[in-house]
Chains A and B, each alone.
Chain A
Amino acid sequence: MSAAPLIELTIDGRKVAVAPGTTVFDAARINGIAIPTLCHQQNETPVGVCRMCVVDVGARVFAASCVRPAEAGMVVTTCSERIESARHTLLELLMADHPSPCARQQHSGDCELETLARAAGIGASRFPRRAPRPQDDSSPAIAVAHDACILCDRCIRGCGDIRNNFVLARMGKGGATDIAFDAAAPMGESTCVSCGECMVSCPTGALTNKFVVSTALGAEHGAQSATTEELLALPVFHNVSGTFLELNKNAVIKRRYRKGEIVCREGDFGSTAFYILEGKVSVSISSPMAHVKTSGGERGFLSRLSSLLVGRANDHRAEDVTRRSIPIDAPVDLDYNHPVAELGPGELFGEMTCMNFYPRSATVRAETDCAVLEMLRNVLDTMRKNKTLRAQLDRTYRQRALEDHLRNVPLFRALDQEFLDRLRERVELASFAPGQLICRQGEPADSFYLVRLGFVKVSERHAGGELVLAYLSRGDYFGEIGLLGEGARTATCTALDHAEVVRIPGEEFRAMLDRFPSVRGGLEAVAQERQQANHERMAVLGSVPLESFLAQGLMEAQSLLVLDLERCTRCDACVNACADAHDGVTRLIREGLRFDKYLVATSCRQCRDPLCMVGCPVGSIRRRSSLEVIIEDWCIGCGLCAQNCPYGNINLHPFTVQADDPDHPGRKRAVVRKKATSCDLCTNQAEPSCVYACPHDAAHRVEPRQFFGSLVGAPAQRDAKGAK
Chain B
Amino acid sequence: MRIDRTHTGWLVASCALLGAACVLYALARPTASPEPMGGTPLGLAFGITGFAFMIFAALLGARKRVPVWRLGRAQTWMRGHLWLGLLSLPLILLHAGFRAGGPLTTALLWLLIIVVASGLFGAALQHFMPATMTRQVPLETIYEEIDHVRAQLRAEAAERIARAKTIVVPENPDEEGAAARGAEPAAPLAAFYEREIRPYLDHAPGPSVLADRAQAERAFAGVRLLLPPELRDAVDDLENICEEERQLARQARLHRWLHGWLLVHVPLSIALILLGAVHAVVALRY
Give A contacts to B, CB under 8 Å: 295-298, 565-571, 573, 576-577, 580-581, 589-591, 594, 597, 685, 689, 692-698
Q: Could you tell me the distance between the alpha carbons of A565 and B131 in the complex, rounded to whole angstroms?
A: 7
Q: Could you tell me the distance between the alpha carbons of A570 and B255 in the complex, rounded to whole angstroms?
A: 8
Q: A296-B68, A297-B68 are in contact. Are A697 and B142 (CB under 8 A)?
A: no
Q: A567-B2, A590-B142, A591-B141 are in contact. Are A693 and B126 (CB under 8 A)?
A: no
Minimum CB–CB distance from B125 to chain A (whole Å) comes to 8
Which residues from A are CB-within-8-Å of B68?
295-297, 577, 580-581, 685, 689, 692-693
Which residues from B are CB-within-8-Å of A689?
67-68
Check if B214 is an interface residue, CB within 8 A of chain A.
no
In the complex, chain B residues 64-83 whose Cβ is within 8 Å of any chain A Cβ: 64, 66-70, 73-75, 77-78
Q: A697-B6, A697-B75 are in contact. Are A569 and B67 (CB under 8 A)?
A: no
Which residues from A are CB-within-8-Å of B70?
685, 692
25 contacts between A and B (CB under 8 A): A296-B68, A297-B66, A565-B134, A566-B130, A567-B1, A567-B130, A569-B1, A569-B126, A569-B129, A569-B130, A570-B133, A571-B259, A577-B68, A580-B68, A591-B141, A591-B142, A594-B138, A597-B134, A689-B68, A692-B68, A692-B73, A694-B74, A695-B1, A695-B64, A695-B75
Which residues from B are CB-within-8-Å of A698?
130
Which residues from B are CB-within-8-Å of A685?
68, 70
Across the A-B interface, give the 4 residue pairs with the lowest CB-CB distance, nearest first. A577-B67, A693-B67, A695-B78, A297-B68
Contact A696 B126 (CB under 8 A): yes
Contact A568 B142 (CB under 8 A): no
Chain B residue nearest to A298 (CB atoms) is: B69
In the complex, chain B residues 129-172 whose Cβ is within 8 Å of any chain A Cβ: 129-131, 133-134, 138, 141-143, 145
Minimum CB–CB distance from A489 to chain B (whole Å) comes to 44
Q: Could you tell me the distance between the alpha carbons of A581 and B70 in the complex, rounded to whole angstroms?
A: 11
Contact B1 A570 (CB under 8 A): no
Q: Could you tell me the distance between the alpha carbons of A567 and B6 in the complex, rounded to whole angstroms?
A: 13
Q: Could you tell me the distance between the alpha carbons of A693 and B69 in the complex, rounded to whole angstroms?
A: 9
Chain B residue nearest to A591 (CB atoms) is: B142
Which of the residues B2, B6, B78, B143 comes within 8 Å of A570, measured between beta carbons?
B143
Check if B258 is an interface residue, CB within 8 A of chain A.
yes
Which residues from B are CB-within-8-Å of A566?
2, 130-131, 134
Which residues from A are CB-within-8-Å of B130?
565-570, 698
Which residues from A are CB-within-8-Å of B67?
297, 573, 576-577, 580-581, 689, 692-693
Which residues from B are CB-within-8-Å of A591?
141-142, 145
Contact B129 A696 (CB under 8 A): no
Count of B interface residues, CB-CB < 8 Å: 29
In the complex, chain B residues 217-238 whose Cβ is within 8 Å of any chain A Cβ: none
Interface centre among B2, B70, B74, B259 (most CB of A within 10 A): B74
Q: Could you tell me the distance between the alpha carbons of A295 and B68 in the complex, rounded to whole angstroms?
A: 9
- Can you add 11 more A-B contacts, CB < 8 Å, to A567-B2, A569-B258, A570-B130? A298-B69, A565-B134, A569-B126, A589-B142, A591-B142, A685-B68, A689-B67, A689-B68, A693-B68, A694-B74, A696-B78
Minimum CB–CB distance from A65 to chain B (whole Å) comes to 71
Which residues from B are CB-within-8-Å of A568?
130
Which residues from B are CB-within-8-Å of A573?
64, 67, 74
Minimum CB–CB distance from B92 to chain A (whole Å) comes to 25
Minimum CB–CB distance from A256 to chain B (whole Å) comes to 51
Which residues from B are CB-within-8-Å of A295?
68
Which residues from A are CB-within-8-Å of B1?
567, 569, 695-697
Chain A residue nearest to B125 (CB atoms) is: A569
Which of the residues B69, B75, B145 comes within 8 Å of A694, measured between beta carbons?
B75
Interface centre among B2, B69, B130 (most CB of A within 10 A): B130
Q: Could you tell me the distance between the alpha carbons of A696 and B6 in the complex, rounded to whole angstroms?
A: 11
Q: Could you tell me the distance between the alpha carbons of A693 and B64 in the complex, rounded to whole angstroms?
A: 8
Which residues from A are CB-within-8-Å of B145?
591
Which residues from B are CB-within-8-Å of A576?
64, 67
Which residues from A are CB-within-8-Å of B259?
569, 571
Q: Could you tell me the distance between the alpha carbons of A562 and B172 in the complex, rounded to whole angstroms?
A: 54
Which residues from A are CB-within-8-Å of B131?
565-566
Q: Could you tell me the distance between the alpha carbons of A696 and B7 in the complex, rounded to whole angstroms?
A: 12
Which residues from B are CB-within-8-Å of A580?
66-68
Minimum CB–CB distance from B134 to chain A (whole Å) comes to 4
Which residues from A are CB-within-8-Å of B126?
569, 696
Contact B77 A695 (CB under 8 A): yes
Which residues from A are CB-within-8-Å of B73?
692
Q: A296-B68, A297-B67, A297-B68 are in contact. Are A696 and B141 (CB under 8 A)?
A: no
Which residues from B are CB-within-8-Å of A297?
66-69
Q: Could you tell me the distance between the alpha carbons of A591 and B143 in the complex, rounded to whole angstroms?
A: 11
Which residues from B are CB-within-8-Å of A569?
1, 126, 129-130, 258-259
Q: Could you tell me the distance between the alpha carbons of A594 and B64 in the complex, rounded to whole angstroms?
A: 27
Interface centre among A581, A685, A693, A695 (most CB of B within 10 A): A695
Contact B142 A696 (CB under 8 A): no
Chain A residue nearest to B128 (CB atoms) is: A566
Which residues from A are CB-within-8-Å of B255?
570
Interface centre among B60, B67, B70 (most CB of A within 10 A): B67
Q: Could you tell me the distance between the alpha carbons of A566 and B130 in the complex, rounded to whole angstroms?
A: 5
Which residues from A are CB-within-8-Å of B77?
695
Contact A695 B258 (CB under 8 A): no
Contact B134 A696 (CB under 8 A): no
Q: Could you tell me the distance between the alpha carbons of A603 and B69 in the complex, rounded to whole angstroms?
A: 21
Chain A residue nearest to B60 (CB atoms) is: A695
Which residues from A are CB-within-8-Å of B75?
694-697
Q: Could you tell me the distance between the alpha carbons of A89 and B145 in the complex, rounded to whole angstroms?
A: 83
| Chain A proximity mask over B70-109: 1 for CB below 8 Å, otherwise 0 | 1001110110000000000000000000000000000000
Which residues from A are CB-within-8-Å of B60?
695
Interface centre among A570, A685, A692 (most CB of B within 10 A): A570
| Chain A proximity mask over B238-264: 1 for CB below 8 Å, otherwise 0 | 000000000000000001001100000
Q: Could you tell me the distance between the alpha carbons of A470 and B116 in the complex, rounded to whole angstroms?
A: 55
In the complex, chain B residues 51-68 whose Cβ is within 8 Å of any chain A Cβ: 60, 64, 66-68
Which residues from A are CB-within-8-Å of B129?
569
Minimum CB–CB distance from B70 to chain A (whole Å) comes to 7
Which residues from A are CB-within-8-Å of B2?
566-567, 696-697
Q: Could you tell me the distance between the alpha carbons of A573 and B74 in the complex, rounded to whole angstroms?
A: 9
Q: Could you tell me the distance between the alpha carbons of A685 and B68 in the complex, rounded to whole angstroms?
A: 9
Which residues from B are CB-within-8-Å of A581?
67-68
Minimum CB–CB distance from B132 to chain A (whole Å) comes to 9
Chain A residue nearest to B132 (CB atoms) is: A566
Minimum CB–CB distance from B116 to chain A (whole Å) comes to 19
Which residues from A are CB-within-8-Å of B69?
297-298
Minimum CB–CB distance from B141 to chain A (whole Å) comes to 7
Q: Could you tell me the distance between the alpha carbons of A693 and B65 in the complex, rounded to whole angstroms?
A: 10
Q: Could you tell me the distance between the alpha carbons of A647 and B183 in the complex, rounded to whole angstroms?
A: 47
Minimum CB–CB distance from A305 to chain B (whole Å) comes to 14
Minimum CB–CB distance from B263 to chain A (whole Å) comes to 15
Minimum CB–CB distance from B90 to chain A (whole Å) comes to 24
Minimum CB–CB distance from B76 to chain A (whole Å) comes to 9
Q: Could you tell me the distance between the alpha carbons of A685 and B130 in the complex, rounded to whole angstroms?
A: 29
Chain B residue nearest to A589 (CB atoms) is: B142
Q: Could you tell me the distance between the alpha carbons of A591 and B145 in the complex, rounded to whole angstroms?
A: 11
Q: A693-B74, A694-B74, A696-B126 are in contact. Are A570 and B64 (CB under 8 A)?
A: no
Which residues from B are CB-within-8-Å of A296?
68
Minimum CB–CB distance from A228 to chain B (whole Å) comes to 55
Chain A residue nearest to B68 (CB atoms) is: A297
Which residues from B are CB-within-8-Å of A590?
142
Q: Could you tell me the distance between the alpha carbons of A694 and B259 in the complex, rounded to whole angstroms?
A: 16
Which residues from B are CB-within-8-Å of A693?
64, 67-68, 74
Contact A695 B66 (CB under 8 A): no
Chain A residue nearest to B75 (CB atoms) is: A697
Chain B residue nearest to A697 (CB atoms) is: B75
Q: Could you tell me the distance between the alpha carbons of A573 and B255 in the complex, rounded to whole angstroms?
A: 15
Q: Could you tell me the distance between the alpha carbons of A590 and B142 in the complex, rounded to whole angstroms?
A: 7
Minimum CB–CB distance from B262 to chain A (whole Å) comes to 10
Chain A residue nearest to B64 (CB atoms) is: A573
